[in-house]
Amino acid sequence: MIEVDRVTKAFYTVVAVNDLSLDVPEGEVIGVLGPNGAGKTTLFKLLAGFLKPDKGRIRAKRLQWPAIGYKPERLLFPNQMRVLAYLEMVAALSNVNSRDIRRVVYDSLSRVNLLDASQKQIRDCSKGMRQRLGLAQALIGDPPLLILDEPSNGLDPDGQAIIASHIQQLRQMGKTILLSSHQLHEVTQVCTHLIIMNQGQILYERPMAEALIEQPHALIRVNQPLAPVAALLQSLHPEVVIQEQEIVLNNEAMGLRRQVLSILLAAGYDILKVEQQRVTLAEVYAEATR
Amino acid sequence: MIQRIATLCRYLTTSLLFSLTGVIYLIGTLVYYWLAFQQPSPEVSYFVLVIGLFGGAVTFLLTLSIASRANQAINFPLLVRLPSRVEYLAAVFLTAVTLGLLLQLLVGLIALLHNGPSLSLSQAVEIPPVWLAINILAAALALHASELVTAGWSRVYLYGALAVLLFLQSNHSQVMSWIGGRFLALGNWFNGLGITALNFPLRNLANWLSVNGNEWLARFIAFVFWPIQAITEATMNGYFSRAQALAPAVLLLYATIIFMLAADLFANKDLHLHE
């Protein structure tokens, strides 16, 4: 849908995005993670057209106007306006037929559970309402690409869950979504693709499912201390970690688990638990940004 | 496109008028009327010039105020909706010109109702297009002074060029003879070094600049400032000759060129809207 080809963007001496290439496929929800100052917001602003690349280019394929719905990181709105009037204005700017504006706005408000606040002045809206308002305005005009910069930033767990469920609904509707977040569980929950950035570059890029099973661990718990068989087990593979009554297999080598289990059974241990553990997003993130 | 620009104009107008800045503009307009029209029954030329000057100045300031509001980060979600950034700039421009004209008409109307000059209908109809042309030029110039449009050194270049033209308007002969003198001195310096081949052309150039160059420069500057001069003269005389009637159109041409420059700058710059 959008192709970013070796784009560099610098502000004076600070290189915010450095020779970055990225293909945004249609219908994917791409989670962009990275520490503060990694270049996520600059990348989003480049994609939304607010910034021009110093080098490289950004190409949009088969995108018809209005192509992009954008929710900025900061929840800044014209506070003196009412929610309804603000969304009507966004609709009028988004090629919505004047007869359909009211319907489109109410549709967008109901999608984010904000109908009750339609007559409120924006200054009277809570943080959660403002986040949902940000999402509602991005949805108006049915743009195929949504850029959501920290959509659940500063929300309580309930608020985060509501936003995550809205994003999942949008995913089911086939929208292409780019979102940045510091909420790792939210990214795990809603994203189909993962990008980790630091210092303006992509350090890690993979489909989410692949990212999370990339280094599977297995945990085996037994009924008595493992000291008598520890040496034998460790001789199988250096990635076999022996704890008191637990063995952690940090390797996906074929047959390793079966070999460990046979040794344990032969030595008369009872197997209390065998658990396949996936690597967490936090571990992937820590590894990539190390 | 018209729907989008009209929507943005409405938004910018309400955001300005329902703010302290909007109230200040309204109070400023009334104070200006009070200061400028203390004497009863002024001349028509006084009426046209004083309110014309007010219109240009207030449109310039309004453009700066509206552009500053348009340059806020709350507008990112609106900007991303537009197929072209120029629509956004057009909305800023049109809002400023419209509000400027309305404030100007307010002063004019109050002045006419309270001891103003007596105007025939034909005179009254002739005045607003002249005012409007000046206001449009003021708005186009003000765009370049605003943070919204300016990119790099652009406003220094534009206002620098304007300052040079204004300086040359009254000092062109001194400037040309000074430049001629520098070339003459350069020729003498080369002569002293024994490079006589350069002395003769430099002397010729110095003479040409002092006589013909000065005349050319004077003509060029008179040509550039002709519309302003023509409008002022016509207003003082009380009627527009055929040639003078073209002056507002030439001002509009200037404004168009300056607006196109602003649109090009705005369309290609990085938008760092204020939070």
CATH of the domain at A272: 3.30.70
Maximum alpha-carbon separation in chain A: 80
Report the C-alpha gap between B93 and B252 in whole angstroms.
Answer: 14
Domain-ending residue, one of A211, A245, A264: A211
Q: Kindly identify which residue of chain A lies nearest to residue B270, measuring between CA atoms.
A: A51
Q: Check if the beta carbon of residue A149 is closer than 8 Å to that of residue A180.
A: yes
Structural domain of A117: 2-211
Three-state secondary structure call for residue A96: coil
Q: Kindly identify which residue of chain B lies nearest to residue A95, measuring between CA atoms.
A: B4
Q: In this prediction, what percent of chain B has a pLDDT beyond 70?
A: 100
Report the C-alpha gap between A129 and A114 in whole angstroms.
Answer: 7
Domain-ending residue, one of A211, A244, A265: A211
C-alpha to C-alpha distances, A133 to A70, A179, B81, nearest whole angstrom = 12, 16, 16
Please give the tally of structural domains in chain A: 2
Please check whether residues A203 and A221 belong to one and the same domain: no
Peptide bond into A225 cis (omega under 30): no
Q: Is B84 on the interface with A (CB under 8 A)?
A: no
Maximum alpha-carbon separation in chain B: 77
Report the C-alpha gap between B213 and B211 in whole angstroms.
Answer: 6
Pairwise CB contact (< 8 Å): A137 & B15? no
Residue that is written with structure tokens 């430049």 in the block: B179
Report the C-alpha gap between A120 and A103 in whole angstroms.
Answer: 18
Q: Is B76 on the interface with A (CB under 8 A)?
A: yes
Rounded to the nearest integer, the mean pLDDT of chain B is: 88
Q: In this prediction, what percent of chain A has a pLDDT beyond 70?
A: 95
Please check whether residues A81 and A197 belong to one and the same domain: yes
Please check whether residues A199 and A129 belong to one and the same domain: yes
Please check whether residues A279 and A154 belong to one and the same domain: no
Q: Is B271 on the interface with A (CB under 8 A)?
A: yes
Mean pLDDT confidence for B89-103: 95
Pairwise CB contact (< 8 Å): B80 & A77? no
Amino acid at A183: Q
> Please, which residues have CB within 8 angstroms of residue B12's CB and are 6 or more apart in sequence?
B66, B69, B70, B91, B92, B95
CA atoms within 13 A on the CB side of B26: 8
Please check whether residues A171 and A275 belong to one and the same domain: no
Please check whether residues A199 and A104 belong to one and the same domain: yes
Please check whether residues A14 and A128 belong to one and the same domain: yes
Where does the pLDDT of residue B130 fall: very low under 50, low under 70, confident under 90, or very high at 90 and above? confident
Please check whether residues A265 and A284 belong to one and the same domain: yes
In the predicted structure, residue A214 carries a pLDDT above the cut 70: no
Rounded to the nearest integer, the mean pLDDT of chain A is: 85
Residue-wise pLDDT for A52-83, tens only, equals: 999 999 888 776 767 788 888 888 899 889 99
Report the C-alpha gap between A161 and A168 in whole angstroms.
Answer: 10
Gap from A216 CA to chain B (nearest CA, Å): 42
Please check whether residues A283 and A246 belong to one and the same domain: yes
Q: Check if the beta carbon of residue B106 is closer than 8 Å to that of residue B27.
A: no
Which CATH number do you get for residue A148?
A: 3.40.50.300
Please check whether residues A199 and A255 belong to one and the same domain: no
Mean pLDDT confidence for A142-166: 83
Please check whether residues A144 and A260 belong to one and the same domain: no
Domain-ending residue, one of A166, A182, A211: A211
Q: Check if the beta carbon of residue A39 is closer than 8 Å to that of residue A197.
A: yes
Helices B121-145 and B214-237 sit at what angle, rounded to 10 degrees?
140
Please check whether residues A222 and A203 belong to one and the same domain: no
Question: Do β-strands A176-180 and A271-277 pair in parallel, antiparallel, or remain unpaired?
Answer: unpaired
Among A206-210, B31-35, B95-99, which range has the highest average pLDDT? B95-99
Q: Kindly identify which residue of chain B lies nearest to residue A143, measuring between CA atoms.
A: B81
> Please, which residues have CB within 8 angstroms of residue B270's CB and are 6 or more apart in sequence?
A50, A51, A52
Q: Check if the beta carbon of residue A66 is closer than 8 Å to that of residue A48.
A: no
The verdict on ipTM greater than 0.85 is: no
Q: Check if the beta carbon of residue A206 is closer than 8 Å to that of residue A194.
A: yes
